[in-house]
Structure 1
């Protein structure tokens, strides 16, 4: 199908940057938000004061070829269902497992591609891990670790909410799928504690929900051990377990998000740590593949962007470019592990990960 126009829903830091990058890549972009907007300040057309949870959204999407949702995860199913009715492509950044399952059901008879989980994790790290798995005759383990953190942490939590508080609370409290000893299973979040070092920085890692996307299904019977963990500065996990479980804030997720964001607001000087490692055999010899990076803020699309904003926005825009250019299917459900890493990195936007 012809693919030249994209609506971007939610013009926060990530959404606005994604819309800017799409415009730079030759797409006709319209940015849509519930807030009133001033089009004169954007490099793309904008529409404000739209209730994306209402029937008004369908009218806004009638004349576009695709929609990218940068909205809170609980709004994505409604957007995906609208995209499905209109027969247009759908992309999002969600890590929420039930949301993804519903989108996958829609993809069974979709006219366009249905591509959730196109952010950093799930998303880019899954593409990296799949490229590592493919180099082994037998893969015994894949460990995926990601942390979005302040460069200059303060306080015991040593954290700043540069990402959606709803998303962070969700991944801290929902069960996590893994493959352990060849068996697919669900484990509790904020457990399996370990120490990881990236670029000389000591970090802790622990289980969180959603970062693997569909990889457990794809690699069951292929990889013996597969898991995803979030990285934080040491001591964070113990404090968050106290907050959610001993203080019972797990029963008040919305309040928890507000309290945490008020205490630890976003910062401009952040860093994204990525540590993906796979082990296995090649021609009978045991080997290890590693992808270890620390990404810092930089100028992207003419604007200085936080590390979490540009890594997330670049991930999804690169995938959208690949669909437009014929490098990926244009209908059905898209798994991140089916995306070729080298092709991803040669896109206009995916190349930001090489800088």
Structure 2
């Protein structure tokens, strides 16, 4: 793998290109001029023009789509047709299902869901699970939040508003009492206390990726919940269901984007708990990290931007190194966490607080 095309040059896409450009020959593709001055060439084109994407993609070994979930399938189809490795950040279940179907006849890797949740959290959860001889519960939690919240929502849209609303509306796959089932998003509210700060967590769709299938018959409980400041879920239920904005997603996106613009100081919480037996003894393993903004190449990047970009860039490295399968559908929980942390970009996620200049 030498030549990589990054489609969609928003904040995350731009950083994906910057990180990958340190090892690969990167080209960007977007309809709009990038916000940042980028150290790699950019091709101007319509990301919804499948013919243009196909024509451009023929010169590349891999493509990383950093587009909103509803724009990924044309990129995936072109990659599948041309035998180009495909990576994206989607949390959308129908999009992933369609890509998985393509992967049955793929000559290359088809790897959606390479962000935080799904993505990193599944890699972490599976790594903890490997330490047990028999599993009982796997509970995964991620939150991308303003570090200094204000207002009743306690939120800012540092991530795609379309993606957030999508995961707040679609039903969520879980395993409960050993049985796979679907539960409503914004339900199952629980209280979490992290270093003295109280949060709430509730079900949102897509965060588990394919884990319910992978761990079917092995666990009593498997679920994913999103971390927010207290009261957030109740207000989002009011907005989406009592005001019926669930039927007007674009309007909801516009309202929320204007009301809660991105902040520079954010924090990403990643928390995983696995319980089970080790040689007959019931034990519990935990993983917790709080990731903050950092400087990369002298530029400030929000926590949500670098954690998401670093996750997908690390997976691209692992495929390039031959440490992961070279064709077919890639499940995030199949990615070894130790190998992930050894990549150039995976080093961002180590425990050490010292910043790593890549």
Tell whether the structures are fold-level matches, with TM greater than 0.5.
yes
Q: RMSD of the alignment, in Å?
A: 1.2
| CA drift at 1:301 | 4.3
| Structure 2 equivalent of residue 33 of structure 1 | 30
Residue 19 of structure 1 is matched in structure 2 by 17
**What residue in structure 2 maps to residue 285 of structure 1?**
281
2:262 maps to which residue?
Answer: 266
Asked if residue 238 in structure 1 is aligned to residue 234 in structure 2, the reply is yes
User: Quick one: distance in 2 between partners of 1:242 and 1:37?
Assistant: 36
42-51 or 71-80: bigger deviation = 42-51
- Which residue does the alignment assign to 2:355? none
The unaligned stretches of length 5 or more in structure 1 are: none
Instruction: Give distance in 2, aligned partners of 1:194 and 1:172.
Output: 16
How many Å apart are 1:49 and its aligned residue?
3.8
Q: Deviations over 1:133-159 (max 9, x none)?
A: 111111110110110000111110010
2:219 corresponds to: 223
Following the alignment from structure 1 to structure 2, what is the Cα–Cα distance between the partners of residues 319 and 275? 20
Tell me, in whole angstroms, the C-alpha distance in 2 between the residues paired with 1:314 and 1:232: 22
Once the two structures are superposed, what CA deviation does each residue of 1:102-140 show, in whole Å capped at 9, x if it has no partner? 000000011110000000110000000001111111111
TM superposition score normalised by structure 1:
0.97
Unaligned 5+ segments in structure 2 are 353-358
Secondary structure in structure 2 of the residue aligned to 1:185: strand
Paired residue total: 351
| Worse-superposed segment, 294-303 or 137-146 | 294-303
The answer to whether the aligner puts 1:185 opposite 2:181 as a matched pair is: yes
Conserved? CA contact 2:45–2:52, under 8 Å:
no
Change (3 A) 1:38 1:172: closer
| 1:296 equivalent in structure 2 | 292
* Residue matched to 1:92: 88
Structure 1 residue 56 displacement after superposition: 1.1
Matched residue of 1:327: which SS?
coil
TM-score for both structures, normalised by structure 2:
0.96
The answer to whether the 8 Å contact 1:37/1:47 transfers is no
> Does 2:41 align with 1:45?
yes
8 Å CA contact 2:168–2:205 kept in 1: the answer is yes
Q: Which residue of 1 aligns with 2:8?
A: 10
Q: CA deviation at 1:302?
A: 4.0
Matches within 5 A, 1:71-150: 71-150=67-146
